Amino acid sequence: GEDVEQSLFLSVREGDSSVINCTYTDSSSTYLYWYKQEPGAGLQLLTYIFSNMDMKQDQRLTVLLNKKDKHLSLRIADTQTGDSAIYFCAEQGNTPLVFGKGTRLSVIA
Amino acid sequence: EAQVTQNPRYLITVTGKKLTVTCSQNMNHEYMSWYRQDPGLGLRQIYYSMNVEVTDKGDVPEGYKVSRKEKRNFPLILESPSPNQTSLYFCASSLQSQGNYGYTFGSGTRLTVV
């Protein structure tokens, strides 16, 4: 089946940029998503990118997509303690969403 | 407010005692799905439903049942819970299973089976 891979942990200092990476296998992916899960809560849609785009920027968030390498990244500029959470990459092709295992971002004050 | 509501939020039960976790959405979504979240394993899909009376197995359906008798509700049933079903469960819904509609998640149900 389709697979989405992410590193499990990332630690950054407050004010630095965070980059969370994701790779996927489904070459028919049409939409790629980033979800955020704060402690004790469900997942919330953070941003998404359509497969014919290379980049999408939304305030402090920048999503980069390398479709040839099937690589997606999420950059958070000026990372704050409130950004501490688990971030899930997800891809959608001809099947329902496939999620990665999530990257736990820890922000050190 | 558009939302997915799960109940209960927390549940402790004993092995073998049947239980139901309810899920309801108020957005007229066709697609609904159940996931379990375990440390190091991420989200694993249990069952999903494309529409009323249409349900399909996900990646880890063993030990679970679902029903979709009406559009808004998608209960998860554990006929005979076992300790390996101790987990955090999420219900999600979407307008459709494909296309850029995103998923809306419930707040989760933390189940402990002793």
Nearest by CB to residue A33, choosing from B45, B99, B102, is B102
Nearest by CB to residue A99, choosing from B43, B98, B104, is B43
Instruction: Decide if pLDDT at B25 tops 90.
Output: yes
Instruction: Decide if pLDDT at B66 tops 70.
Output: yes
Instruction: Tell me the average pLDDT across B80-85.
Output: 98
Instruction: Tell me the average pLDDT across B60-88.
Output: 97
Instruction: Decide if pLDDT at B16 tops 90.
Output: yes
Kindly state the tokens that stand for B10.
Answer: 């927390």
Instruction: Tell me the average pLDDT across B63-74.
Output: 97
Kindly state the tokens that stand for B44.
Answer: 């694993």
pLDDT at B81: 98
The CA distance from B65 to the nearest CA of chain A, in Å, is 19
Portion of chain B with pLDDT greater than 70, in percent: 97
C-alpha distances (whole Å) from B35 to each of A39, A78, B61, B62 are 17, 32, 10, 13
| Across A70-79, B7-16, B55-64, B97-106, least confident range | B97-106
Query: Which residues 22-61 of chain A have a CB within 8 Å of chain B?
Result: 30-31, 33, 40-45, 48, 50
Instruction: Tell me the average pLDDT across B69-88.
Output: 97
Q: State whether residue B7 sits within 8 Å of chain A by CB.
A: no
Q: State whether residue B108 sits within 8 Å of chain A by CB.
A: yes
Write b or e for each residue in B72-90: b if 16 or more Cβ atoms lie within 10 A of its Cβ, otherwise e.
Answer: bebbbebeebeeebbbbbb
Determine whether the interchain pair A43/B45 forms a contact, defined as Cβ–Cβ distance below 8 Å. no
pLDDT at A93: 78
Kindly state the tokens that stand for B107.
Answer: 């707040």
Instruction: Decide if pLDDT at B97 tops 90.
Output: no
Amino acid residing at B63: G
Q: State whether residue A97 sits within 8 Å of chain B by CB.
A: yes
> Could you tell me which residues come within 8 angstroms of residue A10 by beta carbon, excluding any fewer than 6 positions away?
A18, A19, A20, A103, A104, A105, A106
| Residue bearing tokens 């399909």 | B56
Please tell me which residue of chain B has the smallest CA distance to A94: B98
Please tell me which residue of chain A has the smallest CA distance to B103: A45
Strand partners, A77: none
Q: CA-CA distance, B73 to B23, in Å (whole number)? A: 6
Determine whether the interchain pair A44/B105 forms a contact, defined as Cβ–Cβ distance below 8 Å. yes
Instruction: Decide if pLDDT at B12 tops 70.
Output: yes
Strand partners, B25: B4
Nearest by CB to residue A101, choosing from B4, B41, B104, is B41
pLDDT at A1: 66
Instruction: Decide if pLDDT at B102 tops 70.
Output: yes
Q: What is the pLDDT along chain A (109 residues), one digit of tens a residue?
A: 678 999 999 999 999 999 999 999 988 888 899 999 998 889 999 999 998 899 999 999 999 999 999 999 999 999 999 999 999 999 887 777 889 999 999 999 8
pLDDT at B33: 96
Instruction: Tell me the average pLDDT across B86-107.
Output: 88
pLDDT at A19: 98
Q: CA-CA distance, A82 to B74, in Å (whole number)? A: 33
Instruction: Tell me the average pLDDT across B40-68.
Output: 94
Please tell me which residue of chain A has the smallest CA distance to B38: A101
